Structures are given as C-alpha cells and as structure tokens.
Structure 1
Amino acid sequence: MITSGTERILIIAPHADDEILGCGGLIEKACRFNNHVKVIVVAVGDITHPHKGAVVTGHTRKKELQEALAYLGCTDFDVLYDDKDSLLDTVPKSEIIQKLDTILDGFRPTMVFIPLPSYHQDHIVLFEASFAALRPKPNQFIKLIAMYEYPLITWQYQKFWNTGELYLDITDTMQKKLNSFLKHKSQIRPKEHLISPENVVKWAEMRGMEVGMKYAEKFYILRSHM
C-alpha cells in the first residue's frame, strides 16, 4: 500500500496525539519508504486535563507533536488553531472546510486519512468538515480516503458497519509507534485507561489478531479507486 515512494499521504487529526494513536505505524512505514506524509492537527490550546490536574499549554502540545512526528521521520505538519482544543464546535464549520479545501488543493494528496467520529465534539466536527472537503470533484487525484480509529471509539454512538476494512501490518514498527506516542508526555494516562501506553499496544495486538498479524492498524474505507 505504501512501499512505492510516490504517495502523498495527508493525515487530518483533531488533536496532537490522535495522529499517532490512529496512524503511527502508517506514518513510520510511509516515511521509511520515502513517501511524503503531511499531518494536519486542527486544534491545540491551553487546557486542563483531569489526568494531569494542571493546565497543559498549546505550546507544549505542539512541541510534543513535533518530537513525536520527527521520531517517525515526518517533518511536514501544521496546526490550524492554537486556541481551540475541545472548542471546535464553536468554529463555523464552513471556515474549517475552507481551510481543508486549501490544504487539499495545495498538497494534492493521493491518500487521505481522517478521524472516525467518536463521542468527542472535536472529532465529530472534524469528521463532518473533512467529509465535506473531500466531496467528489472533477479531476479527482485522491485514490484512497479512509477513516482511522483510536481506542476511545469503544464509546461510539454511531457505528460504521457498511465500509470496507483495511488493515496495515505494523509488527515491524510497533515499538516505534509506542515510542512516538510516549513523546506526547502530557497525554500519558494510567495503565487502566483506554489510551494508556499499555492499552495502545493491546489495541494493535487485537487488530492484528483479527487478520493473523502480531500488530495492526485498522482503517475504514470511504472511497477508493485505482
């Protein structure tokens, strides 16, 4: 899927760390084979996380993002909003769509990965804005549009059963995925939490078990053509 060295892969994430949770293995493998990976994180900001008991600044989140992506070999990333973490539902959706339109037209990706919507308002808003921005257009250059998941979709009010499923073997890069996730130091949860480092590994192991691999990432196909 990503060994040619000619793919232009765009990953759109609501927050810093979602890109690793959903696509960390994909990012590392794509960069290793000399494909161009661009990551767009839509919202960071100063926010109090219950697991930290203190304010985590947007500056900290961006620094962690840079370090996590650099570890995987990706240096092309951008943050759209510096003050909208957990506040994307206060931004006009048309504004987000316009920003994504501009990125799509400028980067001209061959593959796009967007978040599977979950209970979180930012994830819902970004999925809907991404879906609108990826509407069919003349001279379409995107050959794969897929949703990525992360463990917190276990609390998901809307299930996606009518999509194609795509698994990526990340057995050879699972440790790098985990190490890059650990660069997001402000987001590390206790062992029993769904997105603790231990459960990030268990999630990949579960997806791998579904298709006879040791570790895998799972994607849900929205549109593809060859």
Structure 2
Amino acid sequence: MLEQGEERLLVIAPHADDEVLGCGGLIEKACRFGNDVKVIIGSVGDIAFRHKENGVIGAETRKKELEEALYYLGCHDYDIMFKDKESAMDTIPRNQIVTKLDDVITCFEPTMALIPYPSYHQDHQVLFNASMASLRPEPKKRPRLIAMYEYPLIVWQYPKVNDVGELYLDITDSIDKKIEAFCKHKSQIRSSDYLLSPEKIKKWAETRGMEVGVQYAEKYHLLRALL
C-alpha cells in the first residue's frame, strides 16, 4: 500500500515524541514512498519533567524538537491543537477537541488514521476518546484503516484493550531513523534503564519484530479496515 504512494496518513498524537514512539517507522516509510503524511499533536506547553534536573522544559523547545524530528523522517505537515495544555487536556471541553479533529479530518481526508492507545496518561485517554468520536462512520469521513499505535509505557495500563486485530509493520530498514528521530526530542531522552530511552525503544521494536519473524517491527491495534 505505502509503496504505491497513494495513501493519506493521519497520525494523531497527544504529545511531541509520541508520534515517533508509536509511528516513527511508519511515518518514515510513508514519506519515503511519496505518501501524504500529516501529524496532529494534542498539546505542547511549559512542563516540568522528573527526569530533568534543571526543571521546566519550555513549549518552544518542545515545538523545535518536534519539527526537527518530523523533518528528519521526511514529514513537513504538522499542527498543534493546543499550545498550553500539555498534561491538562482533560480540562478542555470534549466538544472543542472533537471539533478541531473534525475539521482536520474533513480537510485532509485521510485514507489511514492512527490514534493513541489509551494508556494511563490522561492526555492519551482524552485524545483517544476524541479521536473515536471524530472518526465515527460518515459518508465523507471514511479512512480505509483506523488503528491504535502503541508506545512502551502501555505496559502500565488497565483495563487492557481487547477484541481488536493486530497489525505489524516491518521497520527493519527504518529502525535507525526512528531512533535518531526520537533523539531529536532531546528533552525527553531518559537513561537506558527507562522505557523511554533509545535503547529500550529499539528493544521494544525488536520484541515486536520477534513476534512476526522480522528483525524490528511496530505493532498497531486494528479498530477498522475497509477492503
């Protein structure tokens, strides 16, 4: 599908770095083969991270890192929905988020939509629910494929998402670019004993690859496919 260069891929991500963690290999492949790729980030903002001794990471830093990561993967089409609600998207009225996503989907007309797996984080949960509302079946809003992407921290979530299909993407030829793109998010890099470290991200892709007999893979949880 991607090799034909006819897809319109929409990635909806809660935060800057989630797009690479979940879909970095897919974004790189889609762009390399000439498909249209658009990334929507829920929010960036000034926020303190516990893994950073120097305190608050500014919104402008996060936006610059996002741009560098996406450009490295070949994607130049992205937008940020809310500029000051990072880790606080649960304070935004749901209809405001759904309306923004409705407008994006109507204008971009994606053939494939990737949405965040609903982990423990409130922003992931909010954006997952809003995405499900915006991707409701309608004649003029019909991506042929809708799936959830994962990231390493879904190991800590309850309840589990069941009764969905499984999709794997071989990213063996994209893994190095995925890791390098994540490293563009310098403020987010942890040491190797954390799940959100370059080493663990590569190990996660290796584990998913092992499940389907390739060296490295991304796993997607299928919600709907129209053949």
TM-score of Structure 1 vs Structure 2, range by shorter chain: over 0.9
Q: CA deviation at 1:141?
A: 3.2
AA at the equivalent of 1:148: Y
Q: What is the alpha-carbon distance in structure 1 between the residues aligned to residue 20 and residue 141 of structure 2?
A: 27
Match of 1:95 in 2: 96
RMSD: 0.7
1:181 paired with 2:199, answer no
Q: Partners in 2 of 1:74 and 1:138 — Cα distance? A: 28
Give the corresponding residue for 1:114: 115
Give deviations 1:144-202, integer Å, cap 9, x for gaps: 00000000000011212211100000000100000000000000011111111100000
**Number of aligned residue pairs:** 226
1:152 corresponds to:
153
Judge conservation of contact 2:65–2:185 (CA < 8 Å) in 1: yes
Structure 2 residue runs without a partner (length 5+): none
Tell me which residue corresponds to 1:12. 12
Which amino acid in the other structure matches residue 120 of structure 1?
H
**Contact conserved, 2:105 with 2:141, CA < 8 A, in 1?**
no
1:104-143 equivalences under 5 Å are 104-143=105-144
Corresponding residue for 2:48?
48
Q: Which amino acid aligns with 1:46?
A: D
Counterpart residue number, 2:210: 209
Q: Once the 2 structures are TM-superposed, how far is the Cα of residue 140 of structure 1 from its aligned partner?
A: 4.1
* CA shift for structure 1 position 26: 0.1
Cα distance in structure 2, aligned partners of 1:86 and 1:25: 25
Q: TM-score, normalised by structure 2?
A: 0.98
TM-score (norm 1): 0.99
Is 2:73 the counterpart of 1:83? no
Distance 2:58 2:141 in 1: 39
Match of 1:141, SS state, is coil
Q: Which runs of 5+ in 1 are unaligned?
A: none
| Amino acid across the alignment from 2:185 | H
